[in-house]
Homo-oligomer: A and B are copies of this chain.
């Protein structure tokens, strides 16, 4: 056997296959989770300090880490500077925590469905996935409490307290993934579950991909102090440190006085997209499927009345220039997701929504 054992469990993420398709001219993609390109901020590329081109600290640049401490205090997660680690995208946080916690056979509790690239990482390290709904949690629990991917669900205050309590009771490390929190279209509870933890270890993952720009590949983690030396060493072994130009650009954006207005505009823009998408769904899918109108995030999760295998229809859809994500990719336990699928509403124009959703409805109707 030439490769390591972990390669046996390694599969391409369907996300990746889809990303190669969405660039095709004429394609209407509801598949990915791409922010609207026209809403990406204008970065100020003047006066970039020369130090931004030099090697830096594995923990990240101090000024950006200090800013993260402030941002966390604003959302109710109090932490100190040495609890902050800058990441090359929050995806890297999944890799680091998997390295920290998962041996072959280690149990990891997850929501079902959940973020497919998290499943990919956990499986790569040999995790045995178990339901987060179980009475007792294993030593690692992964959750997306706010505008969950793919369902869009936002945990209520009591759901958050219950999850924190269960992690404490089981002494289960809570890995809270929170990339969508800034994209809130309604008022709802968004306090990090990590802030409610009393005794269990915890890691909170934040992202700048949705509120700023995915191309910069920058995120961060905040964690219980005892985890930080290990996570920092793992970060160092993974890529020494994160891109310093990106760190500097993100810091400028976070400290920009126009930031509040920009975020308000961004949220209003996505809210309009969601509402337009909702109207299209009402028009084309009213008799085909059920769904919940998401209070935030980037996705709709649909359940067809007929338990159709949507995977079998993906090729047909793509040949009709419309892409979606079949639900099976998000399922952790190998269970079927017949008739369930995810639609992104942030990328398409209103005209594309009409064209794409009417085509998709026609395909599912046959």
Residues of chain A at the chain B interface (Cβ within 8 Å): 2-7, 10-13, 15-16, 19-20, 32, 34-35, 37, 40-41, 43, 45-46, 48, 50-58, 88-89, 91-92, 94-95, 99-103, 106, 117, 120-121, 124-125, 139, 173, 201, 209, 213-218, 229-230, 232-234, 236-246, 249
Contacts and interface: CB of A to CB of B under 8 A. Distances in A.
Given A117-B240, A238-B238, A215 B13 contact: no
Nearest to A20: B57
Contacts of A120: 233, 236-237
Contacts of A45: 45-46, 48
Q: How many copies does the complex hold?
A: 2
6 interchain residue pairs of minimum CB distance: A45-B45, A53-B213, A215-B244, A53-B215, A55-B214, A40-B53
Contacts of A246: 243, 245-246
A56 B48 CA distance: 24
Contact of A4 (B11, B55, B99): B99
B241 A217 contact: yes
Contacts of A209: 55
B239 A88 contact: yes
Nearest to A40: B53
Contacts of A240: 89, 91, 117, 217
A150 B176 CA distance: 41
Contacts of A214: 53-55
A348 to B, nearest CB: 15
Contacts of A94: 237
Most buried by B among A100, A173, A245, A246: A245
A215 B121 contact: no
Contact of A216 (B2, B213, B237, B243): B243
Contacts of A229: 12
Contacts of A99: 4, 6-7, 124
18 contacts: A3-B230, A4-B101, A10-B233, A12-B233, A13-B233, A16-B58, A37-B50, A40-B53, A45-B45, A53-B213, A55-B214, A95-B238, A120-B236, A120-B237, A215-B245, A216-B243, A216-B244, A216-B245
